[in-house]
Amino acid sequence: MALTVEQIHRLAVDAGIKGDLRGVPAVKRHLVREKARFEKLPKEEKAQFDMESLWNPYSDTRVYCGDPKKVVKRVAVGIDVGTSELLLAHELSKKDPIDLVIAHHPMGSGLAGLHEVMNLQAEVLAKYGVPINVAQGLLHLRIDEVSRRFSPINHQREIDAAKLLHIPLMSAHTATDNLVATFLEKLIARNKAKLELVGDVLKLLGTIPEYKEAASQKAGPRLFAGRPDRFIGKIALTELTGGTEGSAEVYHRLAQAGIGTVIGMHMSEEHKKQADEAHINAIIAGHMSSDSIGMNLFIDMLERRGIKVTPFGGFHRVRRAQ
């Protein structure tokens, strides 16, 4: 079954919505609010509005260049895609054409607007017992900070290279981060009876192929805060999706909500300090390996539709049964 670039993009968004920790109804309500916001804008502001946000709730999952109607038979997939990866894809195409490059981490408008997807974190925190008004208040300052941090970056560099090389380019960031978050949530639920101590969770994560491979490269799951012999308490998957790290102050609120352990991809020193002070165990599963899980779950969908895949750029390919 052949897919076009645009169909692959929409498949990623649809998969992300289905895997969203907020639940599909919450995502649909978000899209309704976005449409209402657009309709209230004055004419001059509507001209600058991101129309894709009316159906795509993930600003960091989008097509950057290339013909959206192009039929795709082979993709190159990487966690990080820069000019060097694009040149490699161009060289590989001389033997077997690569019709589309899919990056996990965003660029262009996807990176410039990364802060926009962070709002979903507030609803995820509310799911774990943090009052929504508190969660939104804590995230507000952090979202502004992330917006300022990415503001001066050369967002278009990779896109310019892709255009010159005539390579369609897209990213699938929060959409596939949602997939790994849901994957781990279901895994933990299935093994709940076997999980008592923090060390038990670390062992469970170590059975996942992407994490096992990362461990062999000294980048496997690690405990950043807490101890392996502590009880896990309630587990929150608050550090796996939503663009990037949220507010460091959230750990005290999570502790008050009864959370004992959080699982994430990465953690700054300030976040670790706050987790320690809140007596919360923080398991960091690994960044590139967690990203690979999410991308693998999406790429499995493409392979089932007959699309060939070439992994590069830090993407560790693992196939899973349907």
pLDDT tens, the chain, 322 aa long: 789 999 999 999 999 999 999 999 999 999 999 999 999 999 999 999 999 999 999 999 999 999 999 999 999 999 999 999 999 999 999 999 999 999 999 999 888 888 887 888 888 889 999 999 998 888 888 888 888 888 888 889 999 999 999 999 999 999 999 999 999 999 999 999 999 999 999 999 999 999 999 999 999 999 999 999 999 999 999 877 766 777 888 899 999 999 999 999 988 899 899 999 999 999 999 999 999 999 999 999 999 999 999 999 999 999 997 6
Question: Cβ distance 102 to 170 under 8 Å?
Answer: yes
Question: Cβ distance 147 to 111 under 8 Å?
Answer: no
pLDDT score at 239: 76
Least Cα distance to 100 among 109, 90, 110, 91 occurs for 90
pLDDT score at 243: 65
Cα–Cα distance measured from residue 111 to residue 146, given in angstroms and rounded to the nearest whole number: 10
pLDDT score at 301: 97
- Rounded to 10 degrees, the C-alpha dihedral 262/266/270/276 comes to 30
First-to-last alpha carbon distance for the chain, in angstroms, is: 17
CATH number of 3-113+156-175+290-312: 3.40.1390.30
Opening angle at CA 54, ends 49 and 55, nearest 5: 140
Least Cα distance to 15 among 175, 174, 185, 240 occurs for 175
Least Cα distance to 179 among 64, 3, 13, 313 occurs for 13
User: What predicted TM-score, i.e. pTM, was given to this entire model?
Assistant: 0.94
Residue 159: Cβ-neighbour burial (10 angstroms; 0-12, 13-18, 19+): middle
Opening angle at CA 48, ends 119 and 81, nearest 5: 60
Cα–Cα distance measured from residue 19 to residue 307, given in angstroms and rounded to the nearest whole number: 22
Partners of 172 in the β-ladder: 61
Is beta strand 308-312 parallel, antiparallel or unpaired with respect to 281-284? unpaired
Least Cα distance to 72 among 167, 168, 3 occurs for 3
Least Cα distance to 230 among 184, 281, 164 occurs for 281
pLDDT score at 266: 87
Least Cα distance to 238 among 127, 142, 82, 115 occurs for 127
Q: Rounded to the nearest 5°, which phi and psi values hold at 315?
A: -90, 120
pLDDT score at 155: 87
